[in-house]
Amino acid sequence: MKFWHEVMAPTRRLMLATFSLILLWSFLMVAFIVDADNQRMFFDWTVSYAQRSPLGASKRVILINDQFPGPLLSATTNDVVDVNVHNNLAEPFLLTWNGLQQRRNSWQDGVQGTNCPIPPGQNWTYSFQLKDQIGSFFYFPSLLFQKAAGGYGAIRINNRPVIAIPFPAPLEEFDVLIGDWYNADYQDMRSLLDRGLPLPPQPDGILINGAGPHQTTFYFQPGATYRFRISNVGLKTTLNFRIQNHLMLLVETEGSYTLQQYYKTLDIHVGQSFSVLVTANQADGQSYYMVATSRFFIPELIGTAIIRYSGSPAEPIGFIPSGPAPMDYAYSIDQARSIRWDLAVGAARPNPQGSFHYGLINISRTIILQNDMASIDNHQRYTVNGVSFTHPDTPLKLADYFQLDSIFPVNSIPDAPDGQVPTLGISVLDATYRDFIHLVFQNTQPTMQHWHIDGYNFFVVGMDAGKWDESKRATYNMNDAVSRSTVQVYPNSWTAILIELDNQGMWNVRSQDHERWYLGQELYMRVKGTGDDDPSSISTRDEAPIPDNVIKCGRAGSAS
């Protein structure tokens, strides 16, 4: 802007400065007014046990406000949400928010490495802003294998009114939580794992919204269009989702609007969320099956619900529609590659999603995370780059904050598998704010793997069979890869992602397979800004302060 300085007379410069100030002021006012629109929402949730028998066998289930699944958390981008959780279980409890980015606020993430648990009989209030996010997500209990007893529920983050949704408003939205289910008590399952024994390899069935086959009904009006927000909340099983005689228009995955394409069936991996639009294009007087079937093992497990048009009989006619063959991996990987980001639409902000050209950003670091299974001290464990995570007595986030150096290991996991003998350890990957990281998940097992990163969405640029090497980069989608927070890795295959580290905090990177997570397949990624060690630096890059109501435990119990 040198040119302007040279030609402008001083008075003109002053006028321009005044004008800029006025402009800035009006901008701030608008920002303030928009901000004033953000609601503060209060939820009061009581967590308790009850006996339920979704598959016929009675089982102890975790309810929230007497509901299974728990209540819907529905809010709008930038809303501030307070959730007061009353723990009426006989053991500690935490909820985590699968896919919520908790921007700069890993204090609210609700996993064992960030929060002390809510003790039995007590309550604690989460407080977080749904900053710059839209989309479909879910919450679940993160401790003590409690997810096997339910306790999960759906989350919707709706568009702010100023940002158009890239499709006509549906008549109604439905949350559909699908997942595998074991009839065994979750504490018995946990005790098997604690003794170093595996769970029965196959679950007992598939639930849709906490219910067994045929137990849930959705009502359709002919001609209307509905949005289904479907999440796989199960422990380990990929599910194929479909609706008899109806196509699904895929529109969103975990907060990203996708290129809109029709699918007859969709593979939904553990921890993933999809939104589809379904038009009631069948005649009145008939009912149809909604189906979720297990993938990649035989015999197939089948979960069903009913779509009922007005005046229809309760029972659908005909057979349950079939999906892909259970062992057809090619179908699944082809479909995964067909899911693309819609570059042209806005999501949480008015600018198009594609205005962030991830393909042009220089990669600052490549990390290869290889998952393995290992026997350590005669216990079955799961590892990442040779390390099976064990939790110290103090959550890492608190240990870091209170500088309890003896707990807090730095860079304790190698950037690539180095052939070390599998060990138990505390894996913390130190990463620099604003770095742009290339992460390869290498699956050496003959079974599916699912990875999730808290605090982030990432671009799924490639996946294929075999071992990853540098030559695979040439195959990456560097233009419109989908952005999401949970990704599958096929058996003996790799998946590559790109991630911009724009969110400071202590973030859990975990296998979404609950058994593997429980047995050590996770790590934490600490994202710190360069100015963080200077306590006087207050900038937008800083993390949210430690919450006033923080629960202290372990060696943080006496820290201040």
For ligand NAG, the binding residues (CB under 6 A) are 84, 123-125, 360-362, 549
For ligand NAG, give the closer residue by CB, 280 or 461.
461
Nearer to ligand NAG, 297 or 356 (CB): 356
Over its C-alpha atoms, the chain yields an Rg (Å, rounded) of 24
Q: Return the number of the residue (123 or 492) whose C-beta is nearest ligand NAG.
A: 123
User: In the complex, what is the shortest distance from the CB of residue 86 to ligand NAG, in angstroms, rounded to a whole number?
Assistant: 7
| Chain centroid, CA 185 distance in Å | 25
DSSP 290-347: EEEEE-SSSSPPEEEEEEEETT--SS--SPPPP-S-TT-HHHHHHHHHH-BB-TT-BS
327: buried, middle or exposed (CB in 10 Å: 19+, 13-18, 0-12)? Answer: exposed
Cα first-last separation, the chain? 49
Closest contact distance (angstroms) between CB of 284 and ligand NAG is 47
Shortest Cβ 123–ligand NAG spacing (Å): 4
DSSP of 240-297, one letter per residue?
EEEETTB-EEEEEETTEEEEEEEESEEEE-TT-EEEEEEE--SPSS-EEEEEEEE-SS
CB atoms within 10 A of CB 159: 17
SS3 for 107? helix
Rounded Cα distance between 222 and 90, Å, is: 48
Residue number, 74 or 123, with CB nearest to ligand NAG:
123
Q: Name the residue with the smallest CB distance to ligand NAG.
A: 125
* Shortest CB 359 distance to ligand NAG, Å: 10
Q: How far is the CB of 43 from ligand NAG (least distance, A)?
A: 12
Cβ nearer to ligand NAG, comparing 4 with 42: 42
**Closer residue to ligand NAG, CB minimum distance, 360 or 538:** 360
Residue with smaller CB distance to ligand NAG, 48 or 123:
123
Task: In angstroms, give the least distance from the CB of 436 to ligand NAG.
Answer: 9
Describe the chain by its helix, strand, coil percentages, rounded to 5.
15, 40, 45
Measured CA to CA, the distance from residue 4 to residue 439 in angstroms comes to 45
Q: How many H helices and E strands in the chain?
A: 6, 32
Please tell me the distance from the alpha carbon of residue 488 to that of residue 450, in angstroms, as a whole number.
Answer: 4
Q: Under 8 Å CB-to-CB from 67, ≥6 apart: which residues?
A: 153
CA–CA distance, 270 with 234 (Å, rounded to integer) = 6
Question: Shortest gap between Cβ of 139 and ligand NAG (angstroms)?
Answer: 17
Comparing CB distances to ligand NAG, the nearer of 51 and 362 is 362
Cβ 362 to ligand NAG shortest distance, Å: 4
Q: How far is the CB of 89 from ligand NAG (least distance, A)?
A: 16
Nearer to ligand NAG, 406 or 560 (CB): 560
